Structure formats: C-alpha cells, structure tokens
C-alpha cells in the first residue's frame, strides 16, 4: 500500500494523470487522518486538554469543590518549604539513582547469558521475561509485601544464615532496598531490548578479537559496550523516566501512606495524596509540572552527554 | 485500487461519526422525581466497610425494596481510605451518589461546600433521636447528616490474655499513670510475647478526650486550634517512657500488620478506640470474649467522653430523587428491622425506635451496656470538626508514628504537626 503510490508517482508524465494522482493523494491523506481521528481526538481530549488545564490549575488554589483561585507562583514557592515534599524528592532520587543502574546491569547480564547458543534458550528467555509481564500489577506488590514481611520467606531465609533483620516492610531503612530489588527483578523489558541489540553485533568482530588474543573483559569493553551503546542509551533513558514515575507498588506496599516514617513517600505518591486526600489539586498540579520539567531537563542532559559515549553505526569515529 | 480506497474512507468516516453520534445519544433525560411499582426510580447508595457490613447492607436494601416497590437501590462499597478519594473525584465531576454513608470528619468539607442536601427540607423523622446528638450533623442551621448510630471511646481488653499473665482485670477507673503501669505490667509479665497496647497518644480522638478532661476545646468556634503546642507536648510526653518498651507495640510491627490492627492480630492485650469495633476485633482475633473499660482520666468525675455519631446518612445536593433518598435514609436510621440486621456493627442505633426494636445479645449487649455505664459522664457531642479535619487526623497519626520510629523528637513532632495544621487552616479559610 505505501509502496505503490510512490512508484506510480515517479512514472507519471501527462498532466491529467498528475492531477488525478494528486487528487488521489488528497483522498489518501483524508483516509489517513480519518483513521487517525479516534486517536487524535483521544489524545487531545484526554492528554493535551488535561495537561493544559493542569498547567492552569498549578497557579491556583483548587480544592475540587469551589472554583480555582488564582494565586500565581505560590504553589511552586511553598513546595520548597514543604518538608514532606523535600522528603519525597529525596526518596525518589535515591530510588532512581540506585535502582535504575542496577536494573540495567541485571538486564544486560542476563541478556548476555541468553545470547549464547545453548539448548532450550527459548525457554530461558521466556522464563526470565515472565516477571516483567506481571511486574507492574497489583498482585506482585501484594506478594512482595508478604515476602518481605515479618516471618516472610525473606526474613526466614536470612535468619537461616544468621542474619536477623526482621520484616523489611516495617523498617524504614530496609524499605528502599526492598523497592530496588522489586525493580531490579523486573528487568525483562530492557533485557529483551538488550538481547535484540546484542544480536546485531557482527560475530566477526568477536572472532577477530579472539584471534588477537583479547579476553572476555576486553571484548566486552571494546566491542559489546560501544556497539551496544545506542541501546544502552535508549534503555537508560526509558528506565530513568519510568523510575521517576513509580506509583502503584509504593501505593500498595505502604497502604497509600508512604510509610514507615515516610521512607516510601515517592514523588507521585505524595502528589496523589496532596490531590486526592488533602484536596489540594493546585498544589498537586504544580508538583506534576515540576516533575515534567525536571524529567525533561534530565532527558536533555542525557542527550547532550550521549555524544561522548554513544556510537551509532556510520558515525565517523 | 481507487474504489477500495474510497470504500475505506467511507468506512472510516462512518465509524468515527458513529462514535460521535453515539456519544451524543447517551444524554437522555430521566423521568421525574418519583417512581411507581411498575416504573420504579433507582437511587445509588454507597458505603465503606468490610464484607460483613456489605452482607448486612444488602439485606437492609432488599427489605427496603420490598417495602417500597417504587424505589430500587443500587448499592456499592469500598474500604475507608479509598472511599474519600472516590467521593472527591465524584464531587468534582458533579456525580455524587444519591445517598451515602458519611463520617463526621468529612461533614464540613462537603457540607460547607454545598455538596450535600439540607435534610431538614425533606421528610425524615428525627423524633426518636437524642436532642444532644443531632447537632453533630448540623452546620450553620442546616442538617447535612442524620446519625445512624453512636459510638464512644473505650479501652478494649482481652480477659483471657490477662488471666494467662496473672493480671487482674481493670476495675473501670484509672488514671493515666495507672493505665501506663498496667500496659507496662503486660509487657513485663509476658516477656515481650504480648505488648501492653498501641501508643494511645497517636490517636487523635484520645487526645481530644484528654483535652476535654482538661477543659480545653480542640477547635474554637471560628475554626482555629483551641490548644497550644505545650498541650500537645504534654500529651505526647505521657507515653515518652513507654515507647520502645514492652508496654507499647513498636511501629515496625504496626506497619507490618497493617491493615489489620495489632489488637486484632493478638499482638497487644489492649486497644483504645471506638466501641463499635467490637465485632471486627472479635472476628479478627478469634478471641472468645473481649471487654470494654472506660478511658483513663486524672479527674475521676470528668472522663471527657461523649457519644459521637459513628456514621451519618447524607444525600447529594444534586440528587434528582430527593423524596426517594429521604425515604431510604429514614428507613435506614429508624426501622427496627434494620437495627436487627446491623446490631451494633454500625454502633448503637441512634434512633430510640430502632434501638428498642433490636435485641442485643452477647457482645452486642456488652457494647450497649458500656454506653449505658458511661451515661453519667457523657457531655455534648462535639460540633462537626473543621474543614480538612480528615487530613489533620491522618497527619496526627503519621507524625505520632514518626515519633515512635524516633525520626522526630517530641518538640520536632509538635512543630511539624502545628505547621501542617496551621497551613491547612489558612488554606481553607
């Protein structure tokens, strides 16, 4: 369908034929936009519209019941005097900084293992991907809570080795490791992308390196890493953005409160509580926009710095 | 090719416009205010609670529909925390259910913001109610809520656990010092197997009762705080020596056990809370019997106790079926058969008609007897708390928990709570 009009366009010569073709192209475009229409309508009504109104609300005091009152930048300035807000930033940044690299390292390690030729590789790939299919769901968060609870399997397993930490869920200094383990365990999606990337690396490179006597470490840093760098970049970007948005598991494991002692008060959870428990929608909107801006800036920084370490094939090196 | 493309265009345009047209078609008008047996009106009713309450409510609804064939009731329920988040979004969209179970903490938030129907404008019989109770559903001369039932604060204890530790049951009167000693004794004698209780200073209503015992109002008439930082410091200092000992269960355990309570999980021997939690605690703990004692007080003549509406019935200001909503509320609060269905699981029925028509046995009788036994100490029910009170109550609990975790000291906790409270009051002024 997409090929044939292009081909026929090249071969046209006579004016009437051209007219006919351009009419046809107009019809094509109409059909295209008509098919896009349901999505476009949804995008405008459900995404762009609410975003614009939340931008407006972020400059107001809005409690859901009464019309919003314009207060200028007040929401944004009070944010930085709000201790719980600062705490939520700390919690989230800690999670992003530690969780994301660990998750990507796990994903890359498993992808490399699964890239070798071995019997039953298809089975292993599915098995390692499975946690990600169910990972974001409510049920896993509940299972996680039970596993890391008092006398849960993790507690019992560790006490077998003489480590008595008690339940992790109620211990403010253990909740963050628990959430990081949860995200690391859900490495499936970046792993699949890494695997696809690894398959793109020509085997000759490794063979040539072997001939020159390079060991596995050397091969990894001199072949795999640079060849895979666009994929690593992509995964790093996506996972960082995702990590900033963690909500469902935090909501469930802490019963929607961000406890114990505020140790799981993730940014989006606090945003939600502000909006829907305290009825401060203007404040919550300001938080949402601040998050959008910060994630945008981080993305920009990633792109800027990527030039120094991401190599695209065809780049002059 | 061209034909096929034209065909596709037509289909696409057709499909898209069909969707738009369908969307236009749903706004059909509803028929008038009242229904008939052949053509009943349907009202929506929503409540919070567990499966047990859902079962009882369904029975009550079935009975109501049987007696009122011209009204159908469409019931729906969630847990307490999710309940208020849902109501907030519904109110913002103008779609609150016709009739709702309500909590005193949120009456001002919605009543003062014109979301609730003034029930004095419809026909609900309140003759059988204590005159001192009704004001708690009223704000500035308008009646937004009718209490279904009352509850009072009490100390729960498990007599079997006390007996096994060789500790005498409380005699029904104790000071805070005696109560603390009692909690400590449980922790000591059980060697940490059972804690005395949870940190009662983390419970807003217990603090409120303590203020009343000291003749201090929690909130002033104009919606400001009626107590000082020093009052709150004194309160949180009451259990300062108990935190981290066997007298009080650690916050780690409380968090692990949530949403179940430590008392319901047989981790503590006592709990200080509302007396209508009896049925829930019995079910959770599997204990054969649980008993109630009055709250501690340093002034034996002033226990600071009061009957609070454990829940209220309210209607949406925007309901199209005022008459049907009023009849349903009247039925739920006054009908003796409804009392038989709920017993004390909503609290002790507030309407005398309903209370007298209900037979209370076993633990239900304990609850009713408890409320009778404290009758002479009861003072007027508090006014509906200030706007945003639900948030204040939650932050009180959270900051007291930070205190127990050692994240904040008493001065820091007091400053943190006052900052949030003052910010909230300013916000809603």
At residue A117, the pLDDT reads: 78
**Would you say residue B29 has pLDDT above 50?**
no
At residue A259, the pLDDT reads: 77
In sequence order, the 6+-apart residues with CB closer than 8 A to the CB of A272 are A247, A251, A256, A284
Chains A and B form CB pairs within 8 A to the count of 93
Q: How far is A71 from chain B (nearest CA, A)?
A: 12
Task: Please give the helix or strand (H or E) that residue A266 lies within, else none.
Answer: none
pLDDT digits (tens, 9 = 90+) for B393-416: 989 999 999 999 989 999 999 999
Contact between chains at A277 and B85 (C-beta distance less than 8 A): yes
B420 alpha-carbon distance from chain centroid: 22
Contact between chains at B253 and A276 (C-beta distance less than 8 A): no
Residue of B nearest to A171 (CA): B252
Band (A15; pLDDT cuts 50, 70, 90): low
At residue B30, the pLDDT reads: 39
Q: How far is A34 from chain B (nearest CA, A)?
A: 6
pLDDT digits (tens, 9 = 90+) for A172-202: 888 999 999 988 988 888 999 999 999 999 9
Give the C-alpha separation, B318 to B92, whole Å: 12
Distances (CA, A) of B378 to A315, B103, B209, B351: 83, 21, 11, 18
pLDDT digits (tens, 9 = 90+) for B284-294: 899 989 999 99
Task: Please give the helix or strand (H or E) that residue A27 lies within, else none.
Answer: helix A15-42
Percent of chain B with pLDDT over 90: 62
Collapse the DSSP code of A33 into the 3-class scheme (helix H, G, I; strand E, B; otherwise coil) and give the result: helix
Angle between helices A175-185 and A83-115 (to 10 degrees): 40
At residue A152, the pLDDT reads: 82
Which residues of B have a CB under 8 Å from any CB of A?
A: 1-2, 5-6, 8-9, 12-13, 15-16, 19, 81, 84-85, 88-89, 91-92, 109-110, 113-115, 250-256, 258-259, 388, 390-391, 394, 398, 401-402, 405, 407, 416, 424, 427-428
Contact between A75 and A59 under an 8 Å Cβ cutoff? The reply is: yes
How is domain B153-307+383-428 classified at the CATH fold level?
D-Maltodextrin-Binding Protein; domain 2 (3.40.190)
**Would you say residue B428 has pLDDT above 80?**
no
Report the range of poorest mean pLDDT among A72-86, B15-29, B266-280, B405-419. Answer: B15-29
pLDDT digits (tens, 9 = 90+) for B187-218: 999 998 999 999 999 999 999 999 999 999 89
Residue showing tokens 């699949």: A192
Residues of chain B with CATH 3.40.190.10: 41-148+310-362, 153-307+383-428
DSSP A70: E
**Would you say residue B299 has pLDDT above 60?**
yes
At residue B195, the pLDDT reads: 96
Number of CB atoms found within 10 A of residue A81's CB: 10
Quote the pTM value.
Answer: 0.82
pLDDT digits (tens, 9 = 90+) for B317-326: 999 999 999 9
Higher pLDDT, B414 or B140: B414
Interface test with B, best of A87, A259, A282 (most B CBs within 10 A): A259
Band (A125; pLDDT cuts 50, 70, 90): confident
At residue B369, the pLDDT reads: 92
**Would you say residue A119 has pLDDT above 90?**
no
**Would you say residue A40 has pLDDT above 50?**
yes
Number of CB atoms found within 10 A of residue B75's CB: 17
At residue B400, the pLDDT reads: 95
**Would you say residue B31 has pLDDT above 80?**
no
Band (B8; pLDDT cuts 50, 70, 90): very low
**Would you say residue A50 has pLDDT above 50?**
yes
pLDDT digits (tens, 9 = 90+) for B36-47: 777 899 999 999
At residue B188, the pLDDT reads: 94
Higher pLDDT, A315 or A155: A155
Contact between chains at A259 and B398 (C-beta distance less than 8 A): yes
Distances (CA, A) of B313 to B229, B310, B330: 35, 10, 9
Contact between B402 and B413 under an 8 Å Cβ cutoff? The reply is: yes
Report, as an integer, the average pLDDT of B299-303: 91
At residue B25, the pLDDT reads: 35
Band (B2; pLDDT cuts 50, 70, 90): very low
Give the C-alpha separation, A151 to A225, whole Å: 42
**Would you say residue B154 has pLDDT above 60?**
yes
Q: Are strands B41-48 and B71-78 parallel, antiparallel or unpaired?
A: parallel
- Architecture of the structural domain at A75-309: Orthogonal Bundle (1.10)
At residue B294, the pLDDT reads: 95
- What are the sequence ranges of the domains in chain A? 3-57, 75-309
Contact between chains at B253 and A170 (C-beta distance less than 8 A): yes
Kindly indicate whether the ipTM for this predicted assembly is greater than 0.85, answering yes or no. Answer: no
How is domain B41-148+310-362 classified at the CATH fold level?
D-Maltodextrin-Binding Protein; domain 2 (3.40.190)
Higher pLDDT, B306 or A11: B306
At residue A135, the pLDDT reads: 57
Number of CB atoms found within 10 A of residue A19's CB: 11
Residue of A nearest to B79 (CA): A255
At residue B26, the pLDDT reads: 36
| Chain B residues whose beta carbon lies within 8 Å of the beta carbon of residue A3 | none
Give the C-alpha separation, B324 to B330, whole Å: 10
Rounded mean pLDDT of chain A?
87
* Highest averaged pLDDT of the listed ranges A261-265, A274-278, B315-319, B375-379: B315-319
Q: How far is A295 from chain B (nearest CA, A)?
A: 27
Collapse the DSSP code of A162 into the 3-class scheme (helix H, G, I; strand E, B; otherwise coil) and give the result: coil
| Chain A residues whose beta carbon lies within 8 Å of the beta carbon of residue B110 | 65
Task: Please give the helix or strand (H or E) that residue A69 lies within, else none.
Answer: strand A69-70
pLDDT digits (tens, 9 = 90+) for A136-174: 677 888 888 888 887 788 888 888 887 777 788 888 888
pLDDT digits (tens, 9 = 90+) for A270-279: 999 999 888 8
At residue B24, the pLDDT reads: 38
Contact between B388 and B427 under an 8 Å Cβ cutoff? The reply is: yes
Report, as an integer, the average pLDDT of B370-397: 86
pLDDT digits (tens, 9 = 90+) for B316-375: 999 999 999 999 999 999 999 999 999 988 889 999 999 999 999 888 898 999 999 998
DSSP assignments along A85-127, one per residue: HHHHHHHHHHHHHHHHHHHHHHHHHHHHHHHS--TTHHHHHHH
Does A28 lie at the interface with B, CB-CB under 8 angstroms? Answer: yes
Report the range of poorest mean pLDDT among A149-163, B218-232, B237-251, B413-427. Answer: A149-163
Percent of chain A with pLDDT over 90: 52
Report, as an integer, the average pLDDT of B182-190: 95
Band (B256; pLDDT cuts 50, 70, 90): confident
At residue B28, the pLDDT reads: 35
| Chain B residues whose beta carbon lies within 8 Å of the beta carbon of residue A280 | 427
């Amino acid at each position: 369908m997409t090929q044939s009009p292009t081909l026929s366009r090249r071969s046209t010569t006579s004016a009437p034929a051209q007219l006919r073709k351009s009419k046809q192209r107009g019809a094509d475009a109409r059909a295209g936009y008509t098919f896009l229409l349901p999505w476009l309508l949804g995008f405008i009504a459900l995404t762009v519209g609410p975003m614009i109104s939340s931008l407006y609300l972020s400059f107001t005091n809005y409690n859901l019941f009464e019309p919003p009152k314009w207060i200028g930048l007040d929401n944004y300035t009070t944010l930085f005097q709000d201790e719980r807000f600062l705490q939520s930033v700390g919690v989230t940044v800690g999670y992003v900084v530690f969780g994301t690299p660990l998750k990507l390292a796990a994903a890359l390690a498993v992808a490399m293992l699964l890239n070798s030729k071995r019997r039953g590789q298809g089975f292993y790939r599915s098995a390692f991907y499975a946690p990600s299919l169910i990972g974001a769901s409510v049920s896993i968060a509940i299972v996680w809570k039970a596993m890391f609870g008092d006398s849960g399997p993790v507690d019992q397993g560790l006490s077998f080795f003489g480590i008595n930490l008690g339940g992790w869920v109620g211990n403010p200094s253990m909740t963050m490791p628990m959430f990081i383990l949860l995200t690391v365990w859900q490495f499936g999606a970046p792993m699949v992308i890494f695997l696809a990337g690894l398959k793109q690396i020509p085997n000759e490179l490794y063979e040539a390196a072997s001939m020159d006597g390079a060991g596995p470490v050397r091969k990894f840093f001199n072949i795999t890493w640079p060849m895979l760098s666009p994929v690593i970049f992509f995964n790093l970007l996506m996972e960082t953005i995702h990590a900033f948005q963690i909500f469902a598991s935090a909501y469930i494991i802490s019963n929607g409160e961000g406890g114990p002692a505020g140790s799981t008060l993730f940014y989006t959870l606090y945003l939600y509580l502000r909006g829907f428990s305290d009825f401060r929608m203007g404040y919550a909107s300001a938080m949402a926009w601040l998050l959008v801006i910060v994630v945008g800036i981080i993305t920009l920084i990633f792109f800027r710095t990527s030039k120094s370490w991401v190599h695209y094939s065809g780049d002059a090196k | 090719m061209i034909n096929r493309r034209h065909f596709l265009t037509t289909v696409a345009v057709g499909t898209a416009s069909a969707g738009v047209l369908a969307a236009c078609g749903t706004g059909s008008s509803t028929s008038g205010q009242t229904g008939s047996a052949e053509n009943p009106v349907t009202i929506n009713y929503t409540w919070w609670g567990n499966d047990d309450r859902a079962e009882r409510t369904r029975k009550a609804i079935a009975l109501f529909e049987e007696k009122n064939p011209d009204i159908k009731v469409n019931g729906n329920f969630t847990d307490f925390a999710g309940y208020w988040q849902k109501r907030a979004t519904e109110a913002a969209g103008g779609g609150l259910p016709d009739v709702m179970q309500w909590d005193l903490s949120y009456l001002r938030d919605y009543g003062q913001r014109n979301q609730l129907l003034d029930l004095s404008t419809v026909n609900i019989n309140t003759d059988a109610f204590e005159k001192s109770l009704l004001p708690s559903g009223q704000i500035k001369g308008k009646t937004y809520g009718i209490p279904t039932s009352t509850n009072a604060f009490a100390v729960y204890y498990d007599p079997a656990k006390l007996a096994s530790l060789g500790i005498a049951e409380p005699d029904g009167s104790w000071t805070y010092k005696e109560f603390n000693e009692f909690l400590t004794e449980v922790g000591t004698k059980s060697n940490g197997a059972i804690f005395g209780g949870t940190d009662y200073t983390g419970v807003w209503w217990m603090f409120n009762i303590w203020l009343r015992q000291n003749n201090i109002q929690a909130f002033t008439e104009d919606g400001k705080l009626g107590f000082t930082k020093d009052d709150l410091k004194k309160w949180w200092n009451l259990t300062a020596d108990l935190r981290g000992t066997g007298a009080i269960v650690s916050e780690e355990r409380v968090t692990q056990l949530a949403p179940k309570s430590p008392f319901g999980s047989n981790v503590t021997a006592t709990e200080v809370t509302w007396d209508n939690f009896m049925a829930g605690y019995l079910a959770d703990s599997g204990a054969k019997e649980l008993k109630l004692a009055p709250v501690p007080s340093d002034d034996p003549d002033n226990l600071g106790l009061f009957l609070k509406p454990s829940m209220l019935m309210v209607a949406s200001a925007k309901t199209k079926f005022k008459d049907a909503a009023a009849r349903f509320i009247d039925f739920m609060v006054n009908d003796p058969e409804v009392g038989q269905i709920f017993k004390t699981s909503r609290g002790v029925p507030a309407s005398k008609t309903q209370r007298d028509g209900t037979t209370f046995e076993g633990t239900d009788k304990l609850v009713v007897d408890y409320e009778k036994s404290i009758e002479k100490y009861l003072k007027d029910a508090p006014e509906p708390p200030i706007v945003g009170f639900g948030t204040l109550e939650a932050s009180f609990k959270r900051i007291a928990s930070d205190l127990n975790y050692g994240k904040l000291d008493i001065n820091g906790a007091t400053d943190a709570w006052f900052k949030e409270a003052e910010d909230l009051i300013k916000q809603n002024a």
